[in-house]
């Protein structure tokens, strides 16, 4: 599932993994066929991770009350640390994009606490979207929130592997396979 080298491989699309795709590996029952799908796609694309995704995963580890869940999340983090993903940190390329998103009142529900919420959810979707824009990298996710963000800040592409469809069409064609549950995990 790792890319070849920690740099951009010429001719290969870059795909930014969202938190829900990475964290699916820590589930007791990950989505059928997702691991095989990631493996198949890694043959022709470079997977990328970014700072906000890693923060969300590591926060999940620190908040896990169940030792079995914590062990699964820790194993995913260790796998990610050993893998050779392209990694995007927070940098100057993202500052202007993210500040513009955070100033957009139509997107305030992504960065302001929701008073009626029962959870302490911290959304990093705007940071992930800003990373996607800054590095012209499509997002792999099951989160439809990116469709909302795209209305105000066009994203380079958003693909949902579980639904097998582009939520936001990319500017250039990327043929991604569909998940086949029979492929196993």
Q: Is residue 130 part of a domain?
A: yes
SS3 92: helix
Query: Taking residues 157-185, what's their average pLDDT?
Result: 87
Tens of pLDDT, residue by residue over 124-154, are: 999 999 999 999 999 999 999 999 999 999 9
Q: Is residue 168 part of a domain?
A: yes
Inform me whether the pLDDT recorded for 12 exceeds 60.
yes
**Which among 81-95, 96-110, 132-146 has the top mean pLDDT?**
132-146
At CB < 8 A and 24+ separation, what contacts does 26-30 make? Answer: 26/60, 26/69, 26/72, 26/73, 26/75, 26/76, 27/72, 28/72, 30/185
Q: Is residue 9 part of a domain?
A: no
pLDDT at 138: 98
Give the pLDDT band of residue 118 (cuts 50, 70, 90). low
Instruction: Provide the token pair at 99.
Output: 């500040």
Inform me whether the pLDDT recorded for 67 exceeds 90.
yes
Inform me whether the pLDDT recorded for 51 exceeds 70.
yes
Distances (CA, A) of 174 to 13, 26, 41, 87, 142: 7, 27, 11, 21, 18
Residue 33 is part of a domain; what is its CATH number? Answer: 3.40.50.1010
> Tokens 């080298």 correspond to what residue?
5
Q: Is residue 8 part of a domain?
A: no
Q: How many structural domains is the chain composed of?
A: 1
DSSP letters, 23-85, are: HGGGSSSPPTTHHHHHHHHTTTSEEEEEHHHHHHHHHHHHH--SHHHHHHHHHHHHHHHHS--
DSSP 118: S
Q: Which range marks the domain in which residue 40 is found?
A: 14-183
SS3 7: coil
Q: Is residue 7 part of a domain?
A: no
């Amino acid at each position: 599932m790792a890319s070849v080298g920690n740099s951009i491989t010429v001719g290969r699309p870059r795909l930014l993994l969202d938190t829900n795709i990475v964290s699916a590996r820590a589930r007791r029952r990950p989505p059928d066929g997702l691991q095989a799908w990631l493996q198949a796609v890694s043959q022709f694309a470079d997977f990328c991770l970014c700072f906000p995704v890693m923060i969300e995963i590591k926060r999940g580890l620190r908040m896990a009350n169940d030792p079995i869940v914590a062990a699964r999340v820790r194993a995913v983090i260790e796998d990610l640390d050993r893998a050779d993903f392209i990694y995007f940190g927070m940098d100057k390329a993202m500052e202007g994009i993210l500040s513009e998103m955070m100033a957009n009142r139509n997107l305030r529900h992504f960065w302001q606490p929701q008073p009626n919420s029962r959870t302490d959810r911290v959304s990093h979707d705007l940071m992930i979207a800003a990373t996607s824009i800054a590095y012209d990298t499509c997002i792999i996710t099951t989160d439809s929130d990116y469709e909302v963000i795209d209305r105000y800040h066009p994203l380079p592409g958003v693909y949902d592997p579980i639904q097998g469809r582009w939520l936001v069409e990319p500017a250039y064609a990327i043929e991604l396979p569909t998940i086949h549950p029979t492929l196993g995990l």
